[in-house]
Amino acid sequence: MFDFEKFLLQIGEDPKREGLSQTPSRIQKLYADIFDGYKQDSSKALGSIFNEENFDEMITLQNIEFYSMCEHHLLPFFGFINIGYIPDKKLAGIGGLARLVDIFSHRLQIQERLTTQIADTLMELLEPKGVMVTCKATHLCMRMQGIQKQHTDIHTSAVRGIFKSDSKTRAEFIALTK
């Protein structure tokens, strides 16, 4: 287990100082919130799934804000996720799509896995004609340590079904989410 007092002593800080006396309990509460995605079942994230046989046009939800923690450095990365899917009889509530993003982002992550987990879960739960997920994120590990590039964002995408096989469908999603 992580010894916060030992950590403070190693960096030259006084663990008994007034400003630090409640920090261990604050960190415990903070981490319970940041990592609550482990306590949630991603297969239940969408809530009610609606069976609507007559809607087969693209549905997009864009600029879903997220915050996550890099599993390599335990530093935050954050940004926006766009989701698009073309239903084949099943529709998800839009709140459920945002909840799915929260569940996966509230775990130790890498951006590439976060993007694919969302797409794969939607393919599994909704069985749509296709799904596309894009993610644009800022990583504090890129800004604070090592290379220290202040204006670098990382873009990832996960493309499934018709989005992968039909360039016009991909282009429509990209146009809708710009």
Kindly list the structural domains of the chain, giving each domain's residue range(s) and its CATH number in brackets, ordered by start.
4-34 (no CATH), 36-176 (3.30.1130.10)
Q: How far apart are CA 160 and CA 128, in angstroms?
A: 9
151 catalytic? Reply is no
pLDDT tens for each residue of 4-43: 889 999 999 999 999 998 998 999 999 999 999 999 999 9
pLDDT of residue 148: 83
Average pLDDT, the chain: 94
What SS3 class is residue 5? helix
Residues that constitute the known binding site for Zn(2+): 70, 73, 141
Q: How far apart are CA 53 and CA 167, in angstroms?
A: 25
70 catalytic? Reply is yes
pLDDT (mean) for 66-94: 96
Residue 169 banded pLDDT, cuts 50, 70, 90: very high
Residue 133 banded pLDDT, cuts 50, 70, 90: very high
pLDDT of residue 173: 98
* Residue 163: DSSP 8-state: H
pLDDT of residue 145: 85
Q: How far apart are CA 26 and CA 13, in angstroms?
A: 17
Given 5, 52, 65, 71, which residue is catalytic?
Answer: 71
Residue 54 banded pLDDT, cuts 50, 70, 90: confident
pLDDT of residue 117: 98
What SS3 class is residue 95? helix
pLDDT of residue 56: 87
Neighbours of 18 (CB within 10 A): 7
135 catalytic? Reply is no
Given 106, 117, 135, 139, which residue is catalytic?
Answer: 139
Residues that constitute the known binding site: 70, 73, 141
Neighbours of 109 (CB within 10 A): 21
pLDDT at 53 over 80: no
40 catalytic? Reply is no
28 catalytic? Reply is no
Given 52, 65, 72, 148, which residue is catalytic?
Answer: 72
pLDDT at 108 over 90: yes
- In the chain the beta strands, taken as DSSP E runs, fall at 49-51, 59-70, 76-86, 90-92, 108-109, 130-139, 154-161
Chain centroid offset of residue 145 CA: 22
The predicted model scores a pTM of 0.93
What SS3 class is residue 137? strand
pLDDT tens for each residue of 136-167: 999 999 989 878 888 889 999 999 999 999 99
pLDDT (mean) for 107-116: 98
71 catalytic? Reply is yes
